[in-house]
């Protein structure tokens, strides 16, 4: 049994059908209509088989290259920033304070991989209704109070739990 009808060598048919990774990359394109990746060979009369969008000749010349890696890094950075914003705002940070902290980390060329200046944070947070009626102890003077105080959250993005401290209205947190 032969795989290639032109020659009697079955191994030759296998070699012809195997594509290198670089050849596969060059033959892949993105449809501007549905934004799906597909092989050029999948097109039906220069139309996308999924959405029917007619691809222009310049769309067919598109190659997957290093730009897609940059787009992936950008998407991951945006996802990290969104996650940081949600986490900080859930803890009670004001939106602007949360944005500044997340931006300080995400707008760097390289996202930090260890604890440092860019990952440390401190902000004044709003107290939840439950916290407003609970007894709290002032970090500076030790006085017990229930209302009219401040809640300060500090920590490092590499630590799992930030430090929450309360200050009475007579004491000021030192930032």
- Element spanning 164, H or E: strand 163-167
Q: Are residues 123 and 154 in the same domain?
A: yes
pLDDT confidence bin for 22, thresholds 50/70/90: very low
Q: Are residues 90 and 156 in the same domain?
A: yes
Q: Are residues 24 and 41 in the same domain?
A: yes
Is pTM beyond 0.75? Reply is no
Question: What Rg value do the Cα atoms of the chain yield, rounded?
Answer: 29
Q: Are residues 129 and 59 in the same domain?
A: no
pLDDT at 27: 65
pLDDT confidence bin for 137, thresholds 50/70/90: very high
Q: What is the mean pLDDT of residues 32-48?
A: 81
Q: Are residues 36 and 96 in the same domain?
A: no
Taking 3-state DSSP, the helix, strand and coil percentages for the chain, each rounded to the nearest 5, stand at: 35, 20, 45
What residue numbers bound the domain in which 83 lies? Answer: 67-167
């Amino acid at each position: 049994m032969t795989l290639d009808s032109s020659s009697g060598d079955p191994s030759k048919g296998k070699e012809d059908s195997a594509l290198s990774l670089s050849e596969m990359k060059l033959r892949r394109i993105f449809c501007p209509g549905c934004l799906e990746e597909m092989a050029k060979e999948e097109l039906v009369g220069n139309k996308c088989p999924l959405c029917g969008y007619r691809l222009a000749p310049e769309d067919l010349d598109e190659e997957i290259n290093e730009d897609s890696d940059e787009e992936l890094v950008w998407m991951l950075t945006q996802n990290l920033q969104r996650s940081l914003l949600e986490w900080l705002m859930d803890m009670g940070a004001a939106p602007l304070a949360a944005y500044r902290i997340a931006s300080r980390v995400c707008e760097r060329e390289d996202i930090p991989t260890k604890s440092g200046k860019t990952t440390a944070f401190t902000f004044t947070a709003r107290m939840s209704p439950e916290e407003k009626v609970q007894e709290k102890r002032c970090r500076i003077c030790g006085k017990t109070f229930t209302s009219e105080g401040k809640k300060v959250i500090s920590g490092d993005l590499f630590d799992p739990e930030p430090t929450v401290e309360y200050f009475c209205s007579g004491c000021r947190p030192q930032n």
